[in-house]
Structures are given as C-alpha cells and as structure tokens.
Chain A
Amino acid sequence: MRHIRTVGLCVFGCVIAAAAFLPRIPSAVADDISERAHKLHFSSIVLDTHDDTTQRFFTNTYDIAKRNPDGHVDIPRMREGGMNAIFFSIWIDGRVMGPQAVEKALDQIDAVRENVRKNSKDMVLARTAEDVRRAHKEGKIAALMGVEGGHMIGNDIRMVRIFADLGVRYMTLSHFYNDEWADSSTDKPTHNGLTDFGKDVVREMNRQGMLVDISHVSDKTFYDALEVSKAPLIASHSSCRALCNHVRDMSDDMIKALAAKGGVIQINYEKSFIDQAYKDAYDKETGGVVQHLSQLAKNCNNDEACISREMAKMQEKLTAEGKLPHVSWERIIDHIDHAVKLVGADHVGLGSDFDGADMPEGMEDASKLPKITEALLRKGYSDTDVRKILGENTLRIMEQAERVSRELQTQQ
C-alpha cells in the first residue's frame, strides 16, 4: 500500500522527495513522524474553504476571540490547529429568496468583517492569494468569505459585483434547493442545470475573480458550469461519491472532469458524506439531510445557529442510542487519498464544513487538524503534496481565478 502510494507520487514529479523519504520508513518510529508532521503542519498555510462559523456571530453566546466549549472554530482553536486561512460561509436557507436573502447575506458579510475588525491583532480580511500569504507571514489568520447559495444574489447579477467588492471570493451556485437559475443536487431539476442567466452569473464571477463553487449543485449544473467557466472550479466542501454514495459528493467522473480543468475538490468532513454506513442509518432515522434540516428549520424558526446546534444534538443523541454508527476521522484521510489517487495531489484540498456539519470522532474541532498532516505523512505523502492539500492548491486556484479576472477585464 505504502509502496504503491510512493510510486504514485513519483509520477507527480516528487522523485527526489520520495527517494529521500523512502530510506526512513523502516526505522521511522511514531515520534519521528509526529515531530516531522508538527513542523510541516505549523509551517504550512492551512486553508479551510468552508466553515459555517458565521452563523454563530449572530448568537450572543459565541465569541470568536475566546475558546468556546462548543462548536468547532474560534481563534484559540484555529491557532492550536494551525488553521491560518478560513473561508467564512455566508449562508441562509435556500428557501429564503429575493431581497430578504440579499439583506441577510449583507448582514453576514458585515458580521464577518466586523469580527475581523474587532480581532485585527489575530485576523485580517484577505481577498487574494497574495493577501493570504501576507497574512501568514505576519502571523495572522486570513479571513475570506464564500457565499453558499446563488439565491443570495436576489436574481440580480449586480449583487455578484457587490459581494465581490465586499470581499466575497467564491459563490456556491446553489444550496440544498434550486435557486432561480441553477439546479441543486438535493432538489428536483427545474432548469436542466444552469439557465442562460446562470451562465451569465458564472461569467460575471469569472470577471470578478470569484471562484465558482460547484458543491451542492446537481451533476448537470456541474457540467454546465465546467463548460462555461473560464477559470477552474472548486467543490468547496464535497467528498467522494465512490466511498459514500451521497448526491452531495462527487463521482469519480466529476472529480476527473473538475481536475482536468485545473479544479480542486475540498474534502468535507460531514459524517454522512464520508461514511456509507452512517449515511444509510442517518437517512433511515431522519429521512436524509434536506428533510432533517427542513424539520429543524421549522423547529428553530429559521434561526441558522439554532439549526446547526440542534442538528449536532440530535446526531449525538442518535449515536448514543446506537441508531447511528461511530465514524472515525480517518475516513477523511480515505477520501483525500481516494481523490489524490484519482486525479493527483494538485486537485485536492480541505473544506471541513466546521460549525455546519456533524464531525467524525477525532476531528471534533479545528485544533485536530494537525492529525491530517500526520496521517498523510504516515501514508507516505511527501511534504510538498501535504502542503498542497493543506492549502497551496486552493491558493493556486485563487491565483488562476485572479489571472482570468484580469484578462477578462482588460479585454473589455
């Protein structure tokens, strides 16, 4: 297994690194690798492309500056886990549309920006890959934003530009429900993928240097977006359908098509997206994530923070009752490894879904992230490949989107 892995890596141009690594394997003890992993992890840019922490800003119990007893992300735990770049998700329920969705999105953008402003010793708003690298050099956490769902533009392409101007660097084309111009993977198709307007939205995102995120969208929307977009795409928080057959995950064919155009799949840690047994049991107990969320939304009167909280509680309860199986954090590594085997180390990243999903055991919060680095090293990944997965791939794709944006704007 390890040998196959190493050979596989050599194909991707890591002969020297792999050769240097090989002789160490027989004698390597756990402590050596732990030490190496620690050094590697804490010298890398660790960029997580999807965190729902934004919702928590609207509760009065949460303070990002302090260590919180619940949830997954705050500055102390980001520091402890070496997470130094984070995409805060701007998200509201996909059934909220029109002006109300626009205003709520603006409120969330404001909440992110205000929290960054108030914690400027630790955090800085970043728009570009260069900004992220500068933040890292200064020892600050780079805060970025992604709008999770095209419904938040209120069917007005000008809002794409407004969001971009306010610092949003990606937009997920839909959430759990179809929006006015793109089909979701968890809704009945109504647009046959992307509408003509939806294609214009993708073009405008290209022009703005905003990454096009195809997590959540239907397979047809994915292929439409892939065809239209001039910049590579991301799946900001999706895992591998080959390992867990969930529509929110990507099939091998999709991952290959994404990578062929330079894109990146950022692995989601949600238990029901990474573990088939869990997904099957979860679906049986709750009717699936969309139905479950819909029920919770009703109970929570659409309060997003309450929904996340209640969802976690419910899953904890069902797991304790033995109705849901235990899922180990190592499933994350399986998904990373599957994607790397399929398309190479240049096209895989991390999109935890912290604070928006149910975390597997051992990955309870951001402080656990160094385990991923160590596990990948133990699998025989080179330092370079680990760095790519931790963040460099996402930075590369941001740079590509920025380049496409400059080209499109000068063409005008």
Chain B
Amino acid sequence: MPSEMLRTIPALLSLGITLALVPGMTADDLTERARKLHFSSLVVDTHDDTTQRLMDGGFDLGPRNADGSIDIPRMKEGGLGAIFFSIWMPSKVKGPEAVQRATAQIEAVRDQVRKHSNELVLATTAAQVREAHRQSKIAVLMGVEGGHMINSDLGVLRKYSDLGVRYMTLTHSGNCEWADSSTDKPAHNGLSDFGKDVIREMNRLGMMVDISHVSDKTFRDVLEVSKAPVFASHSSCRAICDHPRNITDAMMRALAAKGGIIQINFHEGFLSQEFRNAEKADPSINNAIAAEVQKRCGDKEGCQLIEGDKITREYVLQGKLPRVEWTKIIEHIDHAVKVAGIDHVGLGSDFDGANMPFGMEDATKLPKITEALLQKGYSDGDVKKILGENSLRLMSDVERVSKGSKPAR
C-alpha cells in the first residue's frame, strides 16, 4: 500500500476521529488487519523498569500480576516480542556499591530467563532477537540506565557487556562522573574526555549508546564521538511537551542524520504539556506523591515506581492532575516520524518506571498503537519499523561498527 498517499488523508483530520476513511474498509476490518499485523511483527520495547521489582523480592515474571505493567502473560497478550530490562538505581548511588547493585540486577534478569526458559531467552544481537521470535519466545535484553554504574571503570563496562548488557544510558537524572544530565547543573560541559573514551569502548563492544536523560550538550558531544548510530531509548518530543528529558526537533534531525532512533516514552509528564504544566505549577503535588510513595515503599525502588504510578493516577481521578490519554503516544510518534523520518522512530515505553497514560496501563495495550498508526494511514511496513524493525536495524548497525565495518546504510 502506498503509505505516503494514505498518510496524507488522515493527517488532515484531528486525532481521535475514527475512520471510515478508506473506501470499502470498516473499522472492524482495520482492527482485524491491525491485530494480524501486530502479532506477526517483532515488537521491541527498549525501556522497562521491571527489574526493580525483581530486586524487591516476591515478584516473578511468570504469573499475571495484579499491578505494574509487565509480566510474561501480559507481554504475550500484548504481542511484545523483545524487551530491554533496565538496570537502574538513582544517580546518587555511586562507587563500588553502584557496581555491585547493577551486577546483582543483571543476575536477577538472567535468573528470570533461566527460570522461564520456555518463554524467555536472553538475546544480545539482532539475529538472536529474530531467532527468539521464530521460536515464539520473548527476547530479553538489558540496558544499563546511567553511567554512574560503571564507577568510571572501563573494565566494569566490559563485564556488563560480557554479561549481556546491550546499551548504556550515559546518565540518569544526575550527572555522572563523566557526563552531564539534562536534569542536573552542567559540570562537565557535556562529555568529559573519559566520557568520550567510554563511547569509543561502547562502540568497540557493540553496546548501543543511549542519549535519553543526557544534557543537550552531552548529546551533541556523543554524536560527534560515536562511530555507531546512537539512540534515545525512552524520550519523547520536546516540540509537543517541553521537558528537558525530551528531544528537540533539531536534536531528532541530528540523531536521524546519523542513523539513530528516538524511542517514544509513554510517561504522562513527557507526553502532555498540560500535565507537565500542572506538575510545575504546584510542586507540592509531586512532593505529596513522593511522601506517600515513601510511606508505602520505604526504600524499595521497584515498589516506589509502581506505587508512584498508582498514586499519580489517584490524583488524576481526584482532579488534582490532568488526565492524559494514550493517544498522546501516537501524537509523539507521528511528530517524530514527520521530523526524523519513518526509519528513526521506535517504542521505549518506560513501563514499570513511569506514569502511564489512560488506555496504556500495561503491555497488553500495545496492539492499540498498531491500530492507531494504521488508522492514521501508516503502511504495514512503516508500522513494523516503528514497532521494532528500526530498533533491530540499529542493533545490527552497532554490531557492524563493533566488528570494524560501517553501518549498512
């Protein structure tokens, strides 16, 4: 189907209007087509904080869980074929403690894969992800979310790689020892010299460089240094929602020009300007949420993330924060496609680590994205790219650079 033609028709219409646009096609036809497309595609989510729940104890990916967004039954129901489990702890945890905790999280992920080997398989290459998909297994991958976890030690970075970690986000919310974060005061003017060595080593190892969370200057430094395309594993569009965690149009273009990808984050505060404004207008709201989270969870980080999402939703229902619909995700995807191009957009939900919009409560809701994109007139091929093929191409390109050749473009 000529995607360009189809896309222009619905683009004239405002979002949320259901179709009967394509002559002879009913909504039911479209739903059926979307279902088929979705469940035959390789759906890759590049950012999920579910790992934290494993660390709290008591949580297992096997059974369907009453809360949170991710477990094996719901991944299957939502057709999620490959998932990046985030290895994360707050930026303030530093030094060897950060290393041991990160290593323990890596092992927790690997342990789940061993435990559920009928359904999960650890993957470190695009080819392994495809092989998992052929075997109807979910490919499990890992990303380290924050450079503070290597404790300025390239040896540790290499061990993470050996253990299966396929990307590293250079910072989290605070600067690390060698890179500035978008949500901290600049201390390194972007990437330090050592930070540049980190990028080069990641290129050599075939580890994807993730520029979500980093400052704009760090982003530009990375683009200059990295021999492989880089990506934003979970960031949305700053043109729609002005948050430093999001990517400006100019950044997106620069990212795409080097073969990179922006993976759209589903977090309400990154999707909706209205939500962001409300948060900013009354900081006491987030403080109150934080206090309640602390009360419920203590220092259990997995619990904090899940309860934070729950309490935020309670606030929305009480009218204290604006309601954000899942269709905002589509808006961001569509904007990014228009700015960066169809080959440069993917999904980085932030499930189990963020506040999910209404209608995208968990992984089971993912097929709605496919349907909405078809509804907007995206071709099957384009939808597949966004769902996962772009991410896999990036992985392959990064692997190629690691082996000493150029990305195939």
Contact = CB atoms under 8 A, between A and B. Distances in A.
Whether chains A and B associate is yes
Interface of A: 98-100, 102-104, 106-107, 109-111, 113-114, 154, 156, 158-159, 161-162, 165-166
B104 interface: yes
Interface in B153-206: 153, 155-156, 158-159, 162-163
A102 B156 CA distance: 10
30 contacts: A98-B96, A99-B96, A99-B100, A99-B101, A100-B96, A102-B96, A103-B96, A103-B99, A103-B153, A103-B156, A104-B96, A106-B103, A106-B156, A107-B153, A110-B155, A110-B156, A110-B159, A154-B100, A156-B100, A158-B104, A158-B108, A158-B111, A159-B104, A159-B107, A161-B107, A162-B106, A165-B110, A165-B163, A166-B159, A166-B163
B359 interface: no
A162 B163 contact: yes
A103 B110 CA distance: 19
Nearest to B163: A165
Contacts of A100: 95-96
B364 interface: no
Contact of B158 (A104, A114, A165): A114
A111 B159 CA distance: 10
Given A103-B153, A158-B108, A110 B158 contact: yes
Contacts of B158: 110, 113-114
A411 to B, nearest CB: 14
A102 B103 contact: yes
Contacts of B32: none
A114 B155 CA distance: 9
Interface of B: 95-97, 99-101, 103-104, 106-108, 110-111, 151, 153, 155-156, 158-159, 162-163
Given A107-B153, A107-B156, A166-B163, A102 B108 contact: no
A100 B101 CA distance: 11
B120 to A, nearest CB: 15
Nearest to A101: B96
A113 B99 CA distance: 19
A156 B111 contact: no
A156 B103 CA distance: 10
Nearest to A102: B100
B99 A106 contact: yes
A98 B156 CA distance: 16
Contacts of A99: 95-97, 99-101
Contacts of B97: 98-99
B156 A159 contact: no
Contact of A158 (B96, B107, B151, B156): B107
Contacts of A106: 99, 103, 155-156, 159
B197 to A, nearest CB: 15
A154 B98 CA distance: 13
Contact of B162 (A102, A113, A156): A113
Contacts of B163: 162, 165-166
Nearest to B106: A162
Nearest to B158: A110
Contacts of A165: 110, 162-163
Contacts, number: 65
A78 B111 CA distance: 38
A103 B107 CA distance: 15
B100 A111 contact: no
B157 to A, nearest CB: 9
A156 B104 contact: yes
B407 to A, nearest CB: 24
Contacts of A159: 100, 103-104, 107
Contacts of B162: 113, 165-166
A5 to B, nearest CB: 47
Nearest to A160: B107
B111 A102 contact: no
B87 to A, nearest CB: 13
Contacts of B153: 103, 107
Given A100-B95, A104-B96, A107-B153, 10 more contacts: A98-B96, A102-B96, A102-B103, A106-B159, A107-B155, A107-B156, A158-B103, A158-B104, A161-B107, A162-B106
Contacts of B151: 103
A113 B111 CA distance: 23
B95, B96, B108, B110: most-surrounded residue (chain A CB, <10 A): B96
Given A99-B97, A103-B96, A166-B163, A111 B155 contact: yes
A142 B96 CA distance: 30
Contacts of A111: 155
Contacts of B108: 158
Contacts of B96: 98-100, 102-104
Closest 9 CB pairs of A and B: A110-B155, A99-B96, A99-B100, A158-B107, A103-B96, A100-B96, A103-B99, A102-B100, A107-B155
B100, B101, B151: most-surrounded residue (chain A CB, <10 A): B100
A156 B96 CA distance: 14
A103, A162, A166: most-surrounded residue (chain B CB, <10 A): A103
A357 to B, nearest CB: 26
A104 B151 CA distance: 11
A161 B103 contact: no
A102 B99 CA distance: 8
Contacts of B106: 162
Nearest to A167: B162
Nearest to B154: A110
A281 B156 CA distance: 43
Contacts of A161: 107, 110-111
A362 B5 CA distance: 85
A109 B99 CA distance: 14
A104 B153 CA distance: 10
A162 B103 contact: yes
B201 to A, nearest CB: 11
A106 B111 CA distance: 19
Contacts of A102: 96, 99-100, 103
B159 A109 contact: yes
B56 to A, nearest CB: 15
A118 to B, nearest CB: 12
Contacts of B111: 158, 161
Contacts of A154: 100
Contacts of B155: 106-107, 110-111, 114
A110 B160 CA distance: 10
A159 B99 CA distance: 12
A109 B156 CA distance: 10
A100, A106, A159: most-surrounded residue (chain B CB, <10 A): A106
Contacts of A113: 158, 162
Nearest to A161: B107
Contacts of B110: 161, 165
